[in-house]
Amino acid sequence: RTPLALSSGWRRYCAAAATPTGDAVGEFRRRIRVAEVKGGEDQGAAWVGKELTVRGWVRTCRAQRTVTFVEVNDGSCLSNMQCVLTPETEGYGQIDSINTGASVLVEGVVASSQGVKQKVELKVSKIIVIGESDPTSFPIQKKRASREFLRTVAHLRPRTNTFGAVARVRNALAYATHKFFQDSGFIWVSSPIITASDCEGAGEQFYVTTLLSNSAEGGCLVNSIPSKDGRVDWSQDFFCKPAFLTVSGQLNGETYASALSDIYTFGPTFRAENSNTSRHLAEFWMIEPELAFADLNDDMACASAYLQYVVKYILENCKEDMDFFDTWVEKGIIDRLNNVAEKNFVQMSYSDAIKLLIGSNKKFEFPVKWGLDLQSEHERYITEVAFGGSPVIIRDYPKVCNAHFAVFNWFSKNLIIS
């Protein structure tokens, strides 16, 4: 297989700079990404007439009598670049290799598109098939595939619209998180992942150990685990005592907040809870801000400002991906996020919320009584009816409502005044 040729700029550079004893390192190549062409307000109109090289993966290939349309996606955005090939195109002889999943390099000139789906397309002068794809075995074809099936081809699912969009939005949320806290003067602290602390019993922990090393063909022999008086001998483990995956960076974060004032952690945390719901994961990334010299009002203000910032960020920077979710995954998600981004947050105490619900004289399925948890129907009434779509923070939950501890934890735990 032919390796990918260096871009010609690079080749010129190397030829000019070559000396017997050392070459300059070139400039950081800026491959043009489809997002840079089609991502702007004009959807690429400014590129019409310009030369462009795109590298990516074939989504579909439709051969017509005189032209062949190849949709190429490079993952920089949801949109493909529609590439128009004719028999005059250099490399047209490889047309049988241009199957879904193949990786290609296409060179050509950007032109206005006659199609309704895109403003511009690429009139291809040259195509190189970099990696072929066997159409009889490539598992991701144009039809929709279930997420369960895609799980079985985890090495290829990032090439689907859904997983690509998730990756881009997740990336934007992570970067917006750093931007928000950095711009507000917070310092990121990477709290330890392996720990001997259980962080106030925030959740079940995984053990981290080298005691189980596979010491025999066929698996770890139980009687090869170091023991003393019938018990596991931790003194022979890697850290010479039991060690766990962290359930929270909070304790570490607090020591830094008590020195650097405002810090945040953003890293993976772990729970060994055998609960298969959408609210439980064995591994997840968590953000834990710790504010020194702050009170509950500061915490609520920080949380509100943060949420509005990141939501605005993805609505502005991931428009195409969010439209995709709104159309195919969850109708109405953009309207709901716009409410979060645009409306003022409201806060009230749990007791006032109970009063409001009782005073509403609305018939709820679940009872409303001080000391009971708020159910989804109650929360929806408060946000959607009582406050016209504004996000609402309920503070001062009574201790008896244990189920809500985790959800509201963030707002109540950050009071550091000494």
Binding to its own copies (CB under 8 A): which residues in 214-273?
Answer: 214, 216, 218-223, 225, 227, 230-232, 234, 238-239, 242, 245, 255-256, 258-262, 267-268, 270, 272
The distance from CA 167 to its chain's CA centroid, rounded to whole angstroms, is 5
45, 63, 305, 385: which one binds its own copies (CB under 8 A): 305
Question: Which C-beta is closer to its own copies: that of 120 or that of 157?
Answer: 157
- Give the CB-side neighbour count of residue 31, counting CA atoms within 13 A: 13
- Alpha carbons 81 and 55: distance in angstroms, whole number: 10
Token pair recorded at residue 386: 């009582």
Question: Of 143-151, 330-338, 363-371, 385-393, which segment contacts its own copies by CB under 8 A?
Answer: 385-393
Question: Which C-beta is closer to its own copies: that of 67 or that of 286?
Answer: 286
Question: Of 117-125, 288-296, 331-339, 369-377, which segment contacts its own copies by CB under 8 A?
Answer: 288-296
CB 48 within 8 Å of CB 112: yes
Smallest distance, its own copies to C-beta of residue 75, A: 3
Question: Of 68-76, 81-89, 108-116, 369-377, which segment contacts its own copies by CB under 8 A?
Answer: 68-76
Contact status: 281 vs its own copies (CB under 8 A) = no
Smallest distance, its own copies to C-beta of residue 42, A: 19
Token pair recorded at residue 17: 């700079």
CA nearest neighbour of 311 among 411, 171, 164, 173: 173
Contact status: 49 vs its own copies (CB under 8 A) = no
Q: Which of residues 312-331 bind its own copies (CB under 8 A)?
A: none
Enclosing H/E stretch for 194: strand 194-195
Question: Which C-beta is closer to its own copies: that of 6 or that of 329?
Answer: 6
33, 319, 404, 413: which one binds its own copies (CB under 8 A): 33
Smallest distance, its own copies to C-beta of residue 202, A: 16
The terminus-to-terminus CA distance of the chain in angstroms comes to: 66
Smallest distance, its own copies to C-beta of residue 235, A: 11
47, 57, 381, 397: which one binds its own copies (CB under 8 A): 57
Contact status: 384 vs its own copies (CB under 8 A) = no
DSSP for 34-67, written as a single string: HHHHHSSTTTTGGGTT-EEEEEEEEEEEEE-SS-
Three-class secondary structure assignment of 334-382: HHHHHHHHHCCCEEEEHHHHHHHHHHCCCCCCCCCCCCCCCCHHHHHHH
Q: Which of residues 93-112 bind its own copies (CB under 8 A)?
A: 103, 105
47, 61, 74, 150: which one binds its own copies (CB under 8 A): 74
Contact status: 304 vs its own copies (CB under 8 A) = yes
Token pair recorded at residue 298: 């500061």
Q: Which of residues 333-372 bind its own copies (CB under 8 A)?
A: 344-348, 352, 355-356
**Identity of the residue numbered 55:** R
CB 362 within 8 Å of CB 386: no
- Alpha carbons 18 and 118: distance in angstroms, whole number: 44
* Strand, coil or helix: 289: strand
Contact status: 406 vs its own copies (CB under 8 A) = no
Q: Which of residues 154-173 bind its own copies (CB under 8 A)?
A: 154-156, 158-159, 163-164, 167-168, 170-171
Contact status: 152 vs its own copies (CB under 8 A) = no
- Alpha carbons 125 and 88: distance in angstroms, whole number: 8
Q: Which of residues 180-219 bind its own copies (CB under 8 A)?
A: 182, 184-185, 187-190, 192-194, 204, 206-214, 216, 218-219
Residues in binding contact with its own copies, number by CB under 8 A: 123
- Alpha carbons 72 and 309: distance in angstroms, whole number: 33
Question: Which C-beta is closer to its own copies: that of 193 or that of 372?
Answer: 193
- Alpha carbons 292 and 415: distance in angstroms, whole number: 7
Three-class secondary structure assignment of 256-313: HHHHHCEEEEEEEEECCCCCCCCCCCCEEEEEEEEEECCCHHHHHHHHHHHHHHHHHH
287, 292, 311, 337: which one binds its own copies (CB under 8 A): 292
